[in-house]
Amino acid sequence: MKRAALSLALSVLSVGIASAQAVPPPLINYQGVLRDASDKPLNGTYDMVYRFFSADVGGDEILVDGHTAVGASPVAVSGGLFNVQLGGGTVTDGSGPGTYASLADVFRDFSTVWLSIRVGSETLSPRIRIVAAAYALNAANLGGKPAGNYLDTSSAFQAKFGGLRVNTSNSYTIGVEASGTGSGAIFRQADGFTYAYIASGGYGIQATGWNGGGVFGDAYGNGFAYLGYRDYGIQASGSFAGGAFADADNSGGANVGFGDLGIYAWGNQAGGYFVAGSNPGSYAYAGNYDAGTNYKIRGGGAVSFVQNHPEEAGQVIVYAAPEGDEVAVYTRGTARLAGHEAHVALGETFRWVANPDIGLTAHLTPRGPTPGLYVASLSAKDMIVREMAGGSGDIAFDYIVYGLRLGFERMPNVQTKIDHSPVARPSGVDEYYAAHPDLPRTNALAKFEAMRAEAGVGIPVDLSRSQQLIAAINAYRPEVDGSLEKRLKPIEPSAGGPAAPVPPARRSPEPVPEARRAGSAADVPVAGLGTLGTATTDLFAATKFPLSGTAEAGDALVLDPDRPGYLRKAESAADPGVVGIASGSSAYGEEGRLETPVIGTGFALVKADAQYGAIRPGDLLVTSATPGHAMKAPQVLAGGTVIGKSLEPLESGTGLIKVLVMAR
């Protein structure tokens, strides 16, 4: 029995660990002595049946191994000695629960097994307990560690303590390969808030952490980038530049934090394009080349400087630069007549920037009584000023000389239209002056009216002609101007292309707050995500769409078939016109129509309806017949009806749940 026990232990151990090696047979060597009633050793062949039980008395019959003449495997006995390989006869399942076809199955599931032997028609008693040899006692461990410390091949999630290192000696092979319906891999820190999803939700990597979503650097320590870093999308540094961005054909790009420059940018049309919100009149190209002319700044609006008010701490002074139909330069100074004449040397550098042949203009202002001064000669280098007859011949005067900037003589003033460039709208000015009633007197119109009143000229001023001119300038012509939204708004992420990197939906171990389960999605705090429904905290940039009717954050929105280009709240099951989820409440926009920001791809909260079936994380969602709500998708899906994938459960009723929006 000692040898049998040793063979048993080795067989079971080998079956358990030899998946990548030759699998040993599930057999146990059993030897014994067979004597008759007078204790004489027997000879011949005998039928023997071995039964394996879960207890010494009674218990469940697990497996039966028959070595009989009927099965062509009777046991040969010589001088009383016999040898049997248990598990090598006619093996059948026992009468107890479960199904067992080999000894490997038996010792996989039972730690205590008893052997019953029948010789011929006689069952020997008592049963024999099968025990392990000394070293076989370690079969339940590997490297001294229990089986629970090792990964198995089951589909169940497993938690193991310790480190895992996977590598390969061949640099062209893959160290680790994983796949899954939800994600290829998930890695978490014990705090539950620092983790990364690999190959998940249409992204290569989605990550979040207390300090940032990710940190990357080169092997030499010359460049680092933190993504999703605290209140920054990207924080980066490098020995050459903090960041470098360019489009695919390199027709536009920018280095950020480049040398001693904040931004170094280039583009086929301009180095930079800047716009103020949705006001089409407030835009500027920086480093622009157009119509054969170089511009450092070109755009709508005024060129102004701002200075603190010296007497009112809460105000500033804003001055606008003069603008003309040519690129002008000037120099000025003070001189004095000597014998009715003055030879004036102009600014030392003026002659290097002003065209010496055309465009020179001088203005003189005498500092005393004189019959008159005039310019006798003028160049970009100097001028001669003389006094008319009858003067004192000795008087000081101020002068300013304008010139045409060299190289800009042929700049076209009328050019092909690229941007809609209306005259600045006065919207908001009346409200501003109502709050500051002492300031209207400082604007140009008020000063002009005051001067006309003092001169006795009629007021109020007739502005009808200027208003007609403004109306003509501000006219929007779609066939010429194209889409204002495409021209003036940043590119938005869409379902057809990659979105800006953002943190994935946080999967917190804490229970979901009750405040998330009912009511409006507007201003609902989401752990780690800010407040949904405000433009500054949406996880993904939202695009504004006009609405037929009102909507609020969390509403599922679909195309309005009666108004092309408009959206409305969903109100039918599995509507194929689904577009996305409202990330804020509807409001009237500049065009006087209801609008709401819509997330068409990314993470959001949606009003969910579990009346048609409980919603589980990972379920696909479609629109519900409950207005503005989403529900679990049916097993048979029509194309274009999916609004996204649920990231949180909802057992019953209606409420707000987090979803990955991916309309398809």
492-520: b (≥16 Cβ within 10 Å) or e: bbeeeeebebbbbbbbeeeebeeebeeee
- Rounded distance between C-alpha atoms, residue 382 and residue 395, angstroms: 19
Does residue 263 or residue 400 have the better pLDDT?
400
Phi, psi of 149 (to 5 degrees): -85, 0
Q: What is the mean pLDDT of residues 434-440?
A: 87
624: its two tokens? 């519900």
- Reported confidence tier of residue 11, pLDDT bands at 50, 70, 90: very low
pLDDT band at 280 (very low <50, low <70, confident <90, very high): low
Question: Any idea which architecture 328-404 has in CATH?
Answer: Sandwich (2.60)
**What tens digit of pLDDT does each residue of 391-427 get?**
999 999 999 999 999 998 998 888 887 777 777 666 6
For the ranges 265-274, 399-408, 471-480, the one whose mean pLDDT is highest: 399-408
Question: pTM to 2 decimals?
Answer: 0.44
More confident residue, 604 or 164: 604
Residues of the chain with CATH 2.40.300.10: 514-662
Selected residue with higher pLDDT from 277 and 321: 321
Please tell me the distance from the alpha carbon of residue 602 to that of residue 658, in angstroms, as a whole number.
11
| High-pLDDT (> 70) share of the chain, % | 81
d(CA 124, CA 141): 34
Q: Tens digit of pLDDT for each residue in 456-472?
A: 876 677 888 888 887 88
Both tokens of 18, joined, read: 């030899």
Chain position carrying tokens 């509403």: 555
Q: For residue 195, what pLDDT is reported? A: 81
Q: Which of helix, strand or coil describes residue 357?
A: coil
Contacts of 438 by beta carbon, 8 Å cutoff, 6+ apart? none
CB neighbour burial string for 156-170, b if at least 16 within 10 angstroms, e if fewer: eeeeeeeeeeeeeee
Look over the chain and give the mean of its residue pLDDT values, rounded to a whole number.
Answer: 79
Question: Quick one: pLDDT at residue 238?
Answer: 79
With beta carbons less than 8 A apart as the criterion, state whether 77 and 43 touch.
Answer: yes
For residue 459, give both structure tokens.
């007021």
How many residues would you count in the chain? Answer: 664
According to CATH, the superfamily of the domain at 514-662 is Head decoration protein D (2.40.300.10)
The yes-or-no verdict on residue 68 having pLDDT over 90 is yes
Query: Quick check: 376 and 385 in contact, CB under 8 A?
Result: yes
- Other Cβ atoms closer than 10 A to 569: 23
CB atoms within 10 A of CB 277: 9
In this structure, the number of other CB atoms found within 10 A of the CB of residue 334 comes to: 11
Q: Is the pLDDT of residue 84 over 60?
A: yes
Give the Cα separation of 600 and 422 in Å (integer): 32
User: Tell me, what's the pLDDT at 513?
Assistant: 33
Reported as a single tens digit per residue, the pLDDT across 131-164 is: 877 666 566 667 667 777 777 777 777 777 666 6
Please check the confidence at residue 241 and state whether its pLDDT lies above 80. Answer: no
Looking up tokens 């891999």 gives 185
Inform me whether the pLDDT recorded for 529 exceeds 70: no
**Cis bond leading into 126, ω under 30°?**
yes
Q: Residue 603: pLDDT band by 50, 70, 90 thresholds?
A: confident
The yes-or-no verdict on residue 247 having pLDDT over 60 is yes
Nearest residue to 421 (alpha-carbon basis) of 362, 475, 378: 475
Q: Which two tokens stand for residue 611?
A: 């009346």
What residue spans in the chain does CATH classification 2.60.40 cover?
Answer: 328-404
Answer whether residue 517 shows pLDDT above 60: no
The distance between the two most distant Cα atoms of the chain, rounded to a whole number of Å, is 168
Across 18-27, 64-73, 205-214, 254-263, least confident range? 18-27
